């Protein structure tokens, strides 16, 4: 139908162009000629013997005066009637016709066809220009180049002829699937809900980290619903021209109304739905107009009860509140990172149809991949298949999955990297230090694997994997985690009496953990003391009952000889040092006075958080680091508390490694020989330290699976993590001095 309309339009345009050419040729018959003279002038010039040649071409004659060349421009033309006998007129006028001295008369005898071609040749530039205009108009009407149709929506309707995705293809997000299954039921059987007075949801917002399956879930809804499904990206609404975004929104919903009931899916809606009024320049006005039009279409004066909008974003915190209110997006479905059962189900879905060896078990793979998203698990399966194909195997074996995990997390092995024996030994002791501290502390996660194999930027790493997914972190777990991060530096110091740059990332992560404990989770001690008036302090000091007084500005921590602690506050005219000297002069027992850096005995006081992220909503990113909500004095107290936590962790690492130094040496020697040691082999090795007969012949090396380190894992209820947190992986030592 569209092609026939185009042919009709093209024919009309062609007729118009030909008509313009004909009219132009008719009104300007001398177009292309130098000049035109009447026939009487030609005869008069011939009588005066001023003409050398006359060329007769139909009803036009071309006159060449004497002295003019045939190819020159000094000729002119004249028009004659249909029955005019030019030769007879010249003879009657007494003109000498014919060579050598007379006028030479030439008859070209041109046909109508040659005249037409001559006409076309004269107007060829005009014809070319008209064709160019016609071509540009055709391109403007085409779908591939919307030159003149900026306001048309670029949403694409999903074809039902193509293979569709169903809910069976989505795994690991059962709760989200249930929410969207209800939306499908609304579209398929609306009468069942309307009979109870239920209202169809206007919109569903899919929220989750990248790779959790938001777009896949929307495709599954399209495959299950069996209604028209429009999908578009949020960035496709906005162009450089003002008003285009709003026009495209109107056009999108007009298409949706014509195909209702239907579903409209907007991917990455944060590209157009950011909070209004926070732009840094004038360019945000167009985006705000587009957002306003979306708000009106979703829940404005006219309601679209048969259109359901599904949107996806990984930044719900920057969306405009008007977009999130009920009536526009009635439901918010969170796509969490899968737990161990979810990972197992996702692995099964992506591995279906692939030839797996009988030895492959998804239980172990799911346990070894905490914190992996659905997209990462899909990539893991694909990498394993590639590794099997690279080895010309008929099936995918467990070692292919193990190598795939290594490649996904840390990159391929650096087989060409040469490490000198000294650096290899120091790396082995560094990683053995991490593993030994993790083994020796109660609240540290079990060691899964220790490796000094270079991968990517890593020279080695120690991987800890919890026995089950963790949703909450305790203070003891944080403290022992910091001690484990210090284990590498402590091992270097004890064994070599030297430290390397390999611990740089260890120190950074320990500092972040300590800061998170203090500033985000309030994990510090706020001790309450009984009060003791300063007069009673003086009395008990004279009685010899006070051993030490710690001075925190004007606050005093009074420590009695029986270790009881009291709080007091000195008066303005009271000088504690002079008082202590007075006790000595009187021969009484002196009081030890310790001046503390802190200005208050309260320290950080009751548990609270300190500071908050300073974020520019429009840009959607951290612009200014932390916004302080505390003063300089509290800042000093925070620094002091962080230092106390780090020092305590360091001392725990020193104590553990010093106590079990022989185990450290044995583990490091095994690492130097075998390069990779499993957690089980490490445990057998440590047990064999007490029972030499139980020593294993060689370590077992499971897949190298260091999950991404999370410096500040958050407990449930915190807005950042909505799923089990990835198990922190100990920093790895690189041969170039960096840690990753």
Asked whether residue 115 carries a pLDDT value surpassing 70, the answer given is: no
| Residue 258, pLDDT score | 85
| Residue 667, pLDDT score | 94
Intervals of CATH 3.30.720.210 along the chain: 39-109, 530-595
At 467-486, the pLDDT tens digits run 888 888 999 999 999 999 99
At 549-567, the pLDDT tens digits run 888 777 788 888 888 888 8
Cα–Cα distance measured from residue 487 to residue 430, given in angstroms and rounded to the nearest whole number: 7
| Residue 510, pLDDT score | 94
At 380-391, the pLDDT tens digits run 999 999 999 998
Burial of 433 (0-12, 13-18, 19+ CB in 10 A): buried
| Residue 733, pLDDT score | 40
Q: Residue 707: which of 469, 484, 480 has the closest Cα?
A: 469
From the candidate CATH numbers 3.30.2270.10, 3.40.50.2000, 3.20.19.10, 3.40.50.300, the one assigned to the domain spanning 167-276+284-336: 3.40.50.300
- Give bridge partners of residue 63 from the DSSP assignment: 54, 76
Taking residues 206-218, report their average pLDDT: 88
Q: Are 304 and 328 in contact (CB under 8 A)?
A: no
Q: Are 450 and 667 in contact (CB under 8 A)?
A: yes
| Residue 285, pLDDT score | 67
Superfamily of domain 420-526+603-611+628-692: Peptidase M41 (1.20.58.760)
SS3 at position 701: coil
Quick one: fold of 39-109?
Answer: 3.30.720
Asked whether residue 648 carries a pLDDT value surpassing 50, the answer given is: yes
Q: Are 428 and 436 in contact (CB under 8 A)?
A: no
| Residue 205, pLDDT score | 92
* DSSP result, 43-74: HHHHHTT-EEEEEEETTEEEEEETT--TTSS-
* pLDDT bucket at 271, cuts 50 / 70 / 90: confident
Token representation of residue 641: 């508390």
| Residue 33, pLDDT score | 47
Largest CA distance in the chain: 164
Cα–Cα distance measured from residue 167 to residue 185, given in angstroms and rounded to the nearest whole number: 13
| Residue 381, pLDDT score | 93
- Give the rounded percent of residues in the chain with a pLDDT score beyond 90: 18
Q: Say which range, 66-75, 93-102, 286-295, 671-680, has the weakest mean pLDDT.
A: 66-75
| Residue 730, pLDDT score | 42
Report CA-CA distances (Å) from 85 to 103, 105, 259, 324.
15, 12, 76, 92
Asked whether residue 343 carries a pLDDT value surpassing 60, the answer given is: yes
Active-site residue set: 431
Say which CATH class 338-409 falls into.
Answer: mainly alpha
| Strand 592-595 relative to strand 555-560, pairing | unpaired
Intervals of CATH 3.40.50.300 along the chain: 167-276+284-336
Intervals of CATH 1.20.58.760 along the chain: 420-526+603-611+628-692
| Residue 668, pLDDT score | 94
Cα–Cα distance measured from residue 306 to residue 298, given in angstroms and rounded to the nearest whole number: 11
Cα–Cα distance measured from residue 350 to residue 64, given in angstroms and rounded to the nearest whole number: 89
In sign, the C-alpha dihedral spanning 442, 444, 447, 448 is positive
Asked whether residue 280 carries a pLDDT value surpassing 60, the answer given is: no
Quick one: fold of 530-595?
Answer: 3.30.720
Taking residues 694-709, report their average pLDDT: 42
Intervals of CATH 1.10.8.60 along the chain: 338-409
For residues 392 and 594, the model is more confident at 392
């Amino acid at each position: 139908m569209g092609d026939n309309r185009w042919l009709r339009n093209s024919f009309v345009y062609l007729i118009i162009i030909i008509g313009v050419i004909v009219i132009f040729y008719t009104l300007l018959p001398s177009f292309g000629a130098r000049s035109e003279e009447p026939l009487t002038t030609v005869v008069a010039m011939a009588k005066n013997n001023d003409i050398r040649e006359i060329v007769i071409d139909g009803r036009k004659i071309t006159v060449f005066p004497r002295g003019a060349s045939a190819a020159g421009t000094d000729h002119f033309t004249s028009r004659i009637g249909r029955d005019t006998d030019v030769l007879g007129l010249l003879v009657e006028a007494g003109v000498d016709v014919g060579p050598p001295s007379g006028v030479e008369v030439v008859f070209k005898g041109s046909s109508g066809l040659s005249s037409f071609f001559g006409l076309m040749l004269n107007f060829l530039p005009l014809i070319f220009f008209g064709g160019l205009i016609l071509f540009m108009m055709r391109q403007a009407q085409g779908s591939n180049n919307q030159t003149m149709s900026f306001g048309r929506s670029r949403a694409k309707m999903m074809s039902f002829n193509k293979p569709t995705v169903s809910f069976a293809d989505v795994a690991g997000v059962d709760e989200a699937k249930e929410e969207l299954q209800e939306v499908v039921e609304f579209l398929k059987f609306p009468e069942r809900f309307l009979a109870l007075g239920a209202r169809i949801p206007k919109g569903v917002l899919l929220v989750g980290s990248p790779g959790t399956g938001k777009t896949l879930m929307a495709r599954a809804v399209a495959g299950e619903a069996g209604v028209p499904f429009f999908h578009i990206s949020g960035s496709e609404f906005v162009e450089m021209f003002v008003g285009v975004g709003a026009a495209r929104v109107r056009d999108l919903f007009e298409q949706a109304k014509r195909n209702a009931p239907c579903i409209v899916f907007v991917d990455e809606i944060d590209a157009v739905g950011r909070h209004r009024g926070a732009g840094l320049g004038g360019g945000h006005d167009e985006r705000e107009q587009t957002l306003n039009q979306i708000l009106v279409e979703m829940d404005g004066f006219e309601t679209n009860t048969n259109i359901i909008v599904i949107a996806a974003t990984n930044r719900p915190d920057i969306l405009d509140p008007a977009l999130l209110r009920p009536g526009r997006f009635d439901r918010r479905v969170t796509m969490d990172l899968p737990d161990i059962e979810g990972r197992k189900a996702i692995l099964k879905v992506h591995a279906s149809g692939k030839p797996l060896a009988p030895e492959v078990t998804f239980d172990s793979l799911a346990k070894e991949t905490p914190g992996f998203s659905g997209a990462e698990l899909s990539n893991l399966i694909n990498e394993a298949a590639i590794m099997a194909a690279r080895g010309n195997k008929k099936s995918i074996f467990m070692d292919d999955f193990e190598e795939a995990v290594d490649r996904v997390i840390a990159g391929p092995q650096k087989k060409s990297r040469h490490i000198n024996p000294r650096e290899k030994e120091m790396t082995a002791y560094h990683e053995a230090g991490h593993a030994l501290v993790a083994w020796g502390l109660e609240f540290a996660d079990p060691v899964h694997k220790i490796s000094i194999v270079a991968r990517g930027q890593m020279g080695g790493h120690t991987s800890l994997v919890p026995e089950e997914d963790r949703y909450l972190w305790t203070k003891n777990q944080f403290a022992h985690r910091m001690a484990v991060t210090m284990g590498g530096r402590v091992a270097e110091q004890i064994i070599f009496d030297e430290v390397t740059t390999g611990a740089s990332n260890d120190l950074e992560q320990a500092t972040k953990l300590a800061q998170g404990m203090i500033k985000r989770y309030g994990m510090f001690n706020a001790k309450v003391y009984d009060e003791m008036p300063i007069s009673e302090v003086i009395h008990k000091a004279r009685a010899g009952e006070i051993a030490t007084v710690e001075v925190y500005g004007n606050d005093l921590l009074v420590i009695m000889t029986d270790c009881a602690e009291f709080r007091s506050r000195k008066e303005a005219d009271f000088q504690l040092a002079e008082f202590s000297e007075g006790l000595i002069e009187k021969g009484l027992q002196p009081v030890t006075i310790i001046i503390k850096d802190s200005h208050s005995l309260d320290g950080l006081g009751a548990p609270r958080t300190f500071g908050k992220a300073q974020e520019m909503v429009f840009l959607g990113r951290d612009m200014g680091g932390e916004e302080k909500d505390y003063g300089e004095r509290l800042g000093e107290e925070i620094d002091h508390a962080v230092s106390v936590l780090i020092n305590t962790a360091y001392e725990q690492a020193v104590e553990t490694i010093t106590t079990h130094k022989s185990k450290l040496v044995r583990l490091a020697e095994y690492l130097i020989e075998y390069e990779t040691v499993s957690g089980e082999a490490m445990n057998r090795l440590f047990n064999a330290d007490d029972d030499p007969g139980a020593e294993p012949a060689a370590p077992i090396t499971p897949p190298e699976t260091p999950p991404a380190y999370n410096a500040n894992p958050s407990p449930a209820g915190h807005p950042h993590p909505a799923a089990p947190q990835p198990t922190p992986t100990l920093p790895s030592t690189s041969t170039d001095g960096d840690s990753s």
